[in-house]
Amino acid sequence: MKPLTNFDPAAAQPVPPGWLTFLLAGACGLLAANLYYAQPLAALIGSDIGLPLAMTGIIVTMTQLGYGIGLLLVVPLGDLLENRALIVAVVLLGAAALVGAALSHDPSQFLAAAVLIGIGSVSVQIIVPYSAHLVPEQSRGRMVGNVMGGLMFGIMAARPMASFVTAASSWHVIFFASAVVMIILTVTLRLLLPQHKPLSRLSYGALLASMARLAVTTPTLRRRALYQAAMFGAFSLFWTVTPLWLAGPEFHLTQVGIALFALAGVAGAVAAPIAGRVADRGWTRGATIFAMVVGAAAFAITHIGAPGSTVSLGCLVAAAVLLDFGVQANVVVGQRVLFSLGAEYRSRLNGLYIATFFVAGAVCSAVGAWAYVHGGWLLASAIGFTLPVVSLVYSLTEPRHEPVKAP
């Protein structure tokens, strides 16, 4: 299997071979998983490194902080630097950070490594617009959908994988193992990915300054970011609160049981490739509305059956699949729309898009935990239901033939 030749954006673009799509999707899954390994292990890691129980939440927060920094400061470089070299460099940073986390024995060392893991993981959001460069316009949604399907699989599989590995060994092992995988991935990407050299000749400072202009002058970006902020906020709330509910007195699930429940959400990853194909056909508006309706319905069905019953648990599993399906469909449709605005803006638009709804997800996770403590699943699910409904109402204000303008 030989690497492709250097990519020429001016040349006619053939559809890339299937192995390249598979490689990019697999890489995204492995990289995105690094963000979530610590989430189900936060209490255990905190206890081991001497972090007070009340502060264990900062473990996940620091990883998210690093990811946010990377979205705003590293991902835009995809519009400036040769993409293959940039991806490889950022993945290597993540590998080094994972080793640092695995070797940590005090809070400061682990939290510093967590920030760097977050920054290293933004290579995912360099790969996604990079993949869009490799295909002709009519296949772009399909390519982005396939790659995002891999990303979603990694996100959903990371939590149960971390729980299972830690149950069989220790939390250090999952970070060591992922570091080894990252090193292998780095070599593979360096050997097999085609080069892509952006056309932009901006300085780094001008590149960052242009992001504020893009946010102000691109209504399509603002609309799609707000749609996905509501959807991803609901997603984050659901996956923050349901483990608490399942471990409580109504369901009495063990950590392994909760990990198995989390595996159900992996099924929602099939939405990404489907949504990409739908977007390529021009059915953007219908797919967006469908995703929001599915997201709201997911929360509604969690109230079928008595809490703790087999019926209730089954409805929760179905809700997890439906919600993940809706969220993934919406994010892929949004990226398909944004990547049509211009090749020279893709990385910056993607960074702004992801950063917006990532912040919403972090806020809604905190709101969900608060709501569950004060009002149980009823209050938390009501908030989760409201978010896609508000997004749906906002989507109805979009003109049926709203022009999609370049920045």
Task: Report how far apart, in Å, the C-alpha atoms of 208 and of each of 66, 189, 374 are.
Answer: 17, 27, 41
Q: Is residue 4 part of a domain?
A: no
Q: Is residue 203 part of a domain?
A: yes
Q: Report pLDDT for 373.
A: 84
Distance separating the N- and C-terminal Cα atoms of the chain: 39
Q: What is the CATH number of the domain that holds 100?
A: 1.20.1250.20
Q: Is residue 119 part of a domain?
A: yes
pLDDT (tens digit, 0 to 9) for every residue of the chain, 407 residues total?
Answer: 545 544 444 444 566 788 999 999 999 999 999 998 987 787 788 889 988 866 776 787 788 889 989 988 999 999 899 999 999 999 999 999 999 999 999 999 999 999 999 999 999 989 988 988 888 877 777 788 788 788 878 887 888 888 888 888 899 999 999 999 999 999 999 999 999 888 777 888 888 888 889 888 899 999 999 999 999 999 888 988 888 888 888 998 876 787 788 777 777 666 667 766 777 777 888 889 999 999 999 999 999 989 989 999 999 999 998 898 898 889 888 888 888 888 788 888 988 998 898 888 878 887 888 888 889 999 999 999 999 999 999 999 987 655 455 55
Taking a C-beta distance cutoff of 8 angstroms, is the pair 263, 318 a contact?
A: no
- Take residue 195 and report the two structure tokens written for it: 């080069």
Contacts of 152 (CB under 8 A, 6+ apart): 29, 32, 266, 268, 269, 271, 272, 324, 328
Q: Report pLDDT for 6.
A: 47
Using a 10 angstrom Cβ sphere, with 0-12 exposed, 13-18 middle and 19 or more buried, the burial of residue 337 is: buried
Q: Report pLDDT for 11.
A: 47
Q: Is residue 407 part of a domain?
A: no
d(CA 297, CA 275): 18
Task: Report how far apart, in Å, the C-alpha atoms of 64 and of each of 12, 57, 151, 175, 195 are.
Answer: 39, 11, 16, 17, 29
Task: Report how far apart, in Å, the C-alpha atoms of 70 and of each of 125, 178, 222 are.
Answer: 9, 20, 20
d(CA 341, CA 287): 19
pLDDT per position as a tens digit, 119-143 = 999 999 899 889 888 888 777 777 8
Among residues 94, 89, 80, 93, the alpha carbon closest in space to that of 196 is found at 80
Q: Is residue 349 part of a domain?
A: yes
Q: Is residue 402 part of a domain?
A: no
d(CA 316, CA 152): 19
Q: Is residue 152 part of a domain?
A: yes
- In 68-179, where do the E strands start and end? none
Please list, residue by residue across 197-231, b when 16 or more beta carbons sit within 10 angstroms of its beta carbon and e when fewer do.
ebebeeeeeebeebbeebbeebebbbbbbbbbbbb
Q: Is residue 7 part of a domain?
A: no
Q: Report pLDDT for 311.
A: 94
Among residues 215, 238, 186, 213, the alpha carbon closest in space to that of 382 is found at 238
Q: Report pLDDT for 336.
A: 84
Cβ neighbours around 82 below 10 Å, total: 14
Domain around 201: 18-395
Task: Report how far apart, in Å, the C-alpha atoms of 345 and of each of 120, 124, 406 are.
Answer: 22, 17, 9
CA 382, 383, 387, 390: dihedral to nearest 10 degrees? 70
- In 264-367, where do the E strands start and end? none
Task: Give residue 333's Cα distance to chain centre.
Answer: 14
Q: Report pLDDT for 407.
A: 57
pLDDT per position as a tens digit, 108-118 = 999 999 999 99
Number of domains in the chain: 1
Q: Report pLDDT for 351.
A: 87
CA atoms within 13 A on the CB side of 340: 21
